[in-house]
C-alpha cells in the first residue's frame, strides 16, 4: 500500500500502539495476539490487523506478535530511529515548558535551537539551550540545517515567521498558534495543537455524561 493512501486515522493510532507496546514490554510481555491487544486497547482485533497490514506483515498465524519486534517496527515507521534537527520559536511560558519537559530524542527529534524577539529572554537558558535572537535565525539555519520547527508565537506573527522558516528549509511544524499553516503552505507537514480545543472537548464530554445521568 502506498504511504500516501494510508488514512490519517491509522497514522494517529500508531503512537498509541507504540506507547502501549512499550508498557507491555516493560511488564514482561514477549508476545501478544491481536485479540488480546484489542481487549487491552479498546479496539477490535480486525482494526488492529488492518492497521498493521498497511505497513507490512508483522505477525505470525497461531503465534501473534512479538511485542519487542512489533514496537521496534512501529518506531521505524514513525521515524523514531532518526534524530531530526528541530528549533523552537517563542521562548515564553509555553516554549519553556515544552523545551524543559518533552523528551525530544525519544520522539525522533533533536532540539538544537531556541529563538525569540523579546530582548529580556535572549541569552537566557531554556532547557539545555540558550535563547537566540530571531535576527540570527537565517544564519543559524544555514549552518545547522534544522528540518522542523515548534511555533509558540502569537497568531499574528505566525504567517510571516512561517514564510521565513520555509525559506530556510523547514519542512515540518509543531504548531501551537491558531494560524492554519496547511492552507497557505500545502507542501509542509503540520501538526496543529489546540490546547483550548482539547479542554473544550473535555467540557462537552463531562456535560454529556452529566446529562445522561439526569435522564
Q: What's the pLDDT at 212?
A: 53
Q: How many angstroms separate the CA atoms of 204 and 185, rounded?
A: 32
pLDDT per position as a tens digit, 6-21: 898 999 999 999 999 9
CATH number at residue 7: 1.10.10.10
**pTM (whole model) above 0.85:** yes
Q: What's the pLDDT at 186?
A: 75
Q: What's the pLDDT at 125?
A: 93
207 in any annotated domain: no
pLDDT per position as a tens digit, 93-122: 999 999 999 999 999 999 999 999 999 999
95 in any annotated domain: yes
Please tell me whether residue 85 adopts helix, strand or coil conformation. Answer: strand
Beta bridge partners of 89: 115, 151
Q: What's the pLDDT at 140?
A: 97
206 in any annotated domain: no
13 and 111 in a single domain? The answer is no
67 and 100 in a single domain? The answer is no
Contacts 24+ apart (CB under 8 A), 6-14: 6/54, 6/55, 10/51, 10/54, 13/43, 13/51, 14/51, 14/74, 14/77, 14/78
Beta bridge partners of 174: 150, 191
150 in any annotated domain: yes
Q: What's the pLDDT at 152?
A: 96
58 and 96 in a single domain? The answer is no
Q: What's the pLDDT at 179?
A: 86
Q: How many structural domains is the chain composed of?
A: 2
Please tell me whether residue 88 adopts helix, strand or coil conformation. Answer: strand
Last residue of a domain, one of 77, 97, 113: 77
Q: Give the domain extent around 8.
A: 3-77
Helix (H), strand (E) at residue 46? helix 45-53
Last residue of a domain, one of 17, 42, 77: 77
Mind giving me the DSSP string for 95-164? HHHHHHH--TGGGTEEEEEEEES-TTTTT-EETTEEEEEGGGHHHHHHHH---EEEE-S-HHHHHHHHHH
212 in any annotated domain: no
Half-sphere exposure of 4 (CA within 13 A, CB side): 0
- Which residues of the chain are under the pLDDT cut of 70? 1-4, 59-62, 183, 210-215
Count of other CB atoms within 10 angstroms of residue 160: 11
90 and 164 in a single domain? The answer is yes
Q: What's the pLDDT at 185?
A: 74
Phi, psi (5° rounding) for residue 211? -65, -40
163 and 188 in a single domain? The answer is yes
117 and 177 in a single domain? The answer is yes
73 and 127 in a single domain? The answer is no
Amino acid at each position: 500500500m502506498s504511504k500516501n493512501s494510508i488514512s490519517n486515522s491509522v497514522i494517529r493510532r500508531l503512537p498509541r500502539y507504540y506507547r502501549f507496546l512499550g508498557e507491555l514490554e516493560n511488564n514482561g510481555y514477549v508476545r501478544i495476539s491481536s485479540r488480546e491487544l484489542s481487549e487491552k486497547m479498546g479496539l477490535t482485533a480486525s482494526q488492529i490487523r488492518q492497521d498493521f497490514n498497511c505497513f507490512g506483515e508483522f505477525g505470525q498465524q497461531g503465534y501473534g506478535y512479538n511485542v519487542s519486534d512489533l514496537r521496534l517496527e512501529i518506531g521505524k515507521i514513525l521515524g523514531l530511529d532518526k534524530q531530526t534537527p528541530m528549533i523552537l520559536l517563542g521562548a515564553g511560558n509555553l516554549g519553556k515548558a515544552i523545551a524543559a519537559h518533552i523528551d525530544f530524542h525519544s520522539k525522533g527529534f533533536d532540539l538544537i535551537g531556541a529563538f525569540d524577539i523579546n530582548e529580556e529572554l535572549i541569552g537566557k537558558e531554556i532547557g539545555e539551550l540558550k535563547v537566540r535572537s530571531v535576527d540570527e535565525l537565517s544564519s543559524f539555519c544555514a549552518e545547522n540545517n534544522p528540518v522542523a520547527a515548534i511555533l509558540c508565537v502569537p497568531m499574528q506573527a505566525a504567517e510571516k515567521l512561517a514564510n521565513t522558516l520555509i525559506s530556510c528549509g523547514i519542512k515540518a511544524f509543531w504548531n501551537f498558534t491558531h494560524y492554519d499553516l496547511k492552507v497557505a503552505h500545502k507542501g509542509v507537514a503540520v501538526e496543529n495543537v489546540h490546547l483550548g480545543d482539547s479542554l473544550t472537548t473535555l467540557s462537552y464530554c463531562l456535560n454529556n455524561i452529566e446529562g445522561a445521568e439526569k435522564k
